[in-house]
Structure 1
Amino acid sequence: MIDLLLQYGLFLAKTLTVVVAIALLMMAAVRARRGMGGSDDGDRLEILDLNERYKSLEQALKESCLSKKAYRAYVKAERKRRKARDKAQTEERQRLFVIDFNGDLRATEVAALRVLVTTILLDRRDGDQVLVRIENAGGTVHEHGLAASQLARLRAKGIHLTVAVDKVAASGGYLMACVADRIVAAPFAVIGSIGVLAELPNFHRLLERHGVDFELHTAGEYKRTLTLFGENTDAAREKLKGQLEDTHGLFKDFIREYRPALDLERVATGEYWHGSQAVALGLIDAIQTSDDLLLTASETTDLLQLKYSAHKKPIERLLASLQSAVAGRLAAWVGR
């Protein structure tokens, strides 16, 4: 029995050694591949022809509703129409690139947005347009500022930019939207919330009650204003208030640059409005869903939806899901 156990143990040790050796070889191969310029990151650019998508939807409906004879006649007529159009077409049709930006507190999709904007600029033609469908309830200032700057790159190169808001573009979301040449929104989309906030709990009294001291050492008078665990002072509160006012001023200056006719004294109060109200205030230009905008444009323009997906580690995907959930709750709160 003991011999049997010894042999079994030796077998397991050998097996484990082989498995570890194979794993090490695979890791070495991956590193070598990276060193030779290979890529295993899984990043991918996807381009979807929306014209063909609409046509396939129409064709599927007609196939279901028409008789077989009528459907064959429709297909034949459609082929003939396409041939005639292609033959008569002497110049390339205008292109409308479609980008979706679903925001969260940290505007994590800005990484993909940077790649998509650069891709469009690398192959831009005269007459190119971009539609960005924004769903964003706002978040951190610097991240949303970078996202807005990416859209500004398109305008700087003379590419007409439209932003469509079907649900919400508030705070940092509106910071992005205001860059557009034209903003359209659904009737009940949430627009505005041009303001800045900072909030945090303070546990100083709780710690004091339990005999816990908290020390904070800084170099620089305003390296830290309000803290979570220390005793906050009125001077620190005033300093933070001033910083928020400064950021709010930058927010308003940025909006004023792109929408100079907007009455900021009226709308930069932190309030939000629904689409139909936002038109009257000048926050947006028209009431229209992105669906109607694209369907109308499809008659004369090539619609190309761009998506960029970067490979993420499991922990990064988990964190992104959590951030998305938090952003969803924030959007629901804003909507209420």
Structure 2
Amino acid sequence: MEFLTDYAGFMLKLVSVAIVIGVLLAMIASGKSKSRSGSLSVTKLNEGYDSMKAELNNQLLDKKALKEQAKAAKKQLKLEKKAQKKGGQKKDEQQETSKKRLYVLDFDGDIKASSVTTIREEITAVLSVARPEDEVVVRLESGGGVVHGYGLAASQLQRVKEANIPLTVCVDKVAASGGYMMACVADKIIAAPFAILGSIGVVAQVPNVHRLLDKGLIDVELHTAGRYKRTLTMLGKNTDEGREKFKQDLEDTHVLFKQFVSSQRPILDIDAIATGDTWYGSEALENKLVDAVMTSDSYLVSHYDNADVVQVAFKQPKGMAERFGLSVFSAFEQKAVSWISKVIQSRGY
């Protein structure tokens, strides 16, 4: 027993030293990563589509059909080269550089609109090279959230319009409340048949436990300078005046929301639409909330033949806590899986 106790103590010290070393290494790595501003990844979606198409043809077509297909492609390539020689190399280069590009960005919004930190970088990068004949396509998914967060996100999309670059927003699942605030900025909104859109309204909820605290003889003091510095509270006793001011703030925010949507989509009957209600894609088309009903996949595939479809994604460097937390969790997961496997093998399952 004495030996086991000493051994356990030694192992505990060893683990403690390993943890300290891991934390120090993570802090050093974090200091280095602060100088990094993130990385931009660019993926040409046409290539993936062509690769899948070729793979399916190889699996489904017989040798004769594949040979005929290759022959037709070769003939088409010869015709294109002949046309290039006839028109001159300079003309061909001009046609190549003038080929339209679709820049595809993804926005998956939470209640705080956290993705605005990445989409702002992506838009900055795209605007540095985009031309008026190009197009920015945002695949947007969000049920809404805080006003200031989605207001900033909508302003980022407005940068594209201010640069005179066509902007299309595709909604496959939901663009409601703050999500629709972003979507309405687009020149064109496309929604899947059962995507949810609308919810042009404002909501706020504040729990209050004052009566429970009062029963427990617990006093809560709140001191403010300014009549409306705090209208409703969670702990203190709320007043009718505070409630009225809180409701008025919601109404004022709703008015601003309606004005913004109307300025972006003047074809809407804003008083009929801005009730907080939502509509599915086909119903949204009838109410002029969207311009077409189709999935984002259908829209992008329709451009593969005549445009370069490029997905742009900005990735932020992970912080120390995140990297260290993930590494610890990964190590724990591996040990747990290994232990469970040994137990299963020992019992003959």
Query: Fold-level match, TM-score > 0.5?
Result: yes
TM-score of the aligned structures, taking structure 2 as reference length: 0.79
* 1:178 equivalent in alignment to 2:184: yes
Alpha-carbon distance in structure 2 between the residues aligned to 1:104 and 1:83: 51
Alpha-carbon distance in structure 2 between the residues aligned to 1:268 and 1:300: 39
Aligned to 2:39: 44
Aligned to 1:193: 199
Aligned to 1:65: 60
Aligned to 2:242: 236
| One-letter code aligned to 2:209 | F
Aligned to 2:160: 154
Larger deviation, residues 283-292 vs 143-152 = 283-292
Cα distance, 1:238 vs. partner? 0.4
Alpha-carbon distance in structure 2 between the residues aligned to 1:28 and 1:65: 54
Which of 263, 269, 288 is the matching residue for 2:275? Answer: 269
* 1:283 equivalent in alignment to 2:289: yes
Cα distance, 1:69 vs. partner? 4.2
Describe the shift of the 1:156–1:18 C-alpha distance in structure 2 as closer, same or farther (beyond 3 A): closer
Aligned to 2:120: 114
Contact 2:30 2:319 in 1 (8 A): no
Describe the shift of the 1:194–1:312 C-alpha distance in structure 2 as closer, same or farther (beyond 3 A): same
Q: How well do the aligned residues superpose, as a CA RMSD in angstroms? A: 3.3
- What are the residue-to-residue correspondences of 1:1-336 with 2, within 5 Å? 39=36, 43-75=38-70, 77-78=72-73, 81=76, 85=80, 88=84, 89=92, 90-91=94-95, 92=97, 93-313=99-319, 315=321
Alpha-carbon distance in structure 2 between the residues aligned to 1:197 and 1:44: 37
Describe the shift of the 1:176–1:27 C-alpha distance in structure 2 as closer, same or farther (beyond 3 A): closer
Cα distance, 1:130 vs. partner? 0.6
- Tell me the secondary structure at the aligned position of residue 271 of structure 2: helix
Larger deviation, residues 216-225 vs 119-128 = 119-128
TM-score of the aligned structures, taking structure 1 as reference length: 0.82
Alpha-carbon distance in structure 1 between the residues aligned to 2:233 and 2:175: 31
Alpha-carbon distance in structure 2 between the residues aligned to 1:224 and 1:138: 25
| One-letter code aligned to 2:69 | Y
| One-letter code aligned to 2:193 | P
Instruction: List runs of 5+ in structure 2 lacking aligned partners.
Output: 1-8, 85-91, 326-349
- Tell me the secondary structure at the aligned position of residue 47 of structure 1: strand
Describe the shift of the 1:133–1:28 C-alpha distance in structure 2 as closer, same or farther (beyond 3 A): closer
